[in-house]
Amino acid sequence: MEIREIIDVTNLQQWIILAFFSVAFLIQLRYYLLIYLKLPLHKPAQTPSSDTGISVIICAKNEEKNLERFLPKILEQDHPNFEVVVVNDSSTDDTEELLIRLSGLYKQLRYTSIPANDKLMRGKKLALTIGLKSAIFDHVVLTDADCYPASNQWLNRMASNLRGEKRIVLGYGGYDRHKGVLNHIIRYETVFTAIQYLSFAIKGRPYMGVGRNLAYHKSLFFENKGFARHYHLLSGDDDLFVNENATGKNAAVEVSHESHTLSVPETTFRGWIKQKRRHISAGSHYRRSSRIRLAVEWISRILLYSTLICLCISSPWGWPVAALFGVLVVTRLAVFKLGMRCLDEKHLLLPSLLLDPVMPLIMSVIWLTSLFETKYQPWS
Tens of pLDDT along 78-131? 999 999 999 999 899 999 999 999 999 999 999 999 887 755 656 789 999 999
Report the distance separating Cα 340 and Cα 189, nearest Å.
Answer: 12
Q: β-pairing, 139-144 with 147-149?
A: unpaired
CA 283 – CA 196 distance, rounded (Å): 14
Among residues 43, 326, 28, 341, the alpha carbon closest in space to that of 195 is found at 341
Q: How confident is the model at residue 2 (pLDDT cuts 50, 70, 90)?
A: low
Pick 25 or 378 by higher pLDDT. Answer: 25
Are 56 and 147 within 8 A, CB to CB?
no
Phi, psi for 261 (deg, rounded to 5): -120, 160
What was the pLDDT predicted at 336? 98
For residues 249 and 255, what is the distance between their CA atoms, to the nearest angstrom?
Answer: 18
Q: What is the pLDDT of residue 122?
A: 64
52 or 317: which carries more pLDDT confidence? 52
Residue 13 has a pLDDT of 84
pLDDT of residue 290: 94
- Per-residue pLDDT for 137 more than 60? yes
Q: Which pLDDT score is estimated for 378?
A: 53
The span from the CA of 45 to the CA of 116, in Å, is: 46
* Res. 72: pLDDT tops 50: yes
Asked if the model's pLDDT at residue 45 lies above 60, the reply is: yes
Hey, which bits of 151-310 come out as E strands? 168-170, 173-175, 214-217, 251-253, 261-263
> In the predicted model, is pLDDT for residue 6 greater than 50?
no
pLDDT of residue 376: 45
- Beta strands at 173-175 and 109-114: parallel, antiparallel or unpaired: unpaired
**The pTM of the whole model exceeds 0.85:** yes
Do 359 and 188 touch, CB atoms closer than 8 A? yes
State yes or no: pLDDT of 286 exceeds 90.
yes
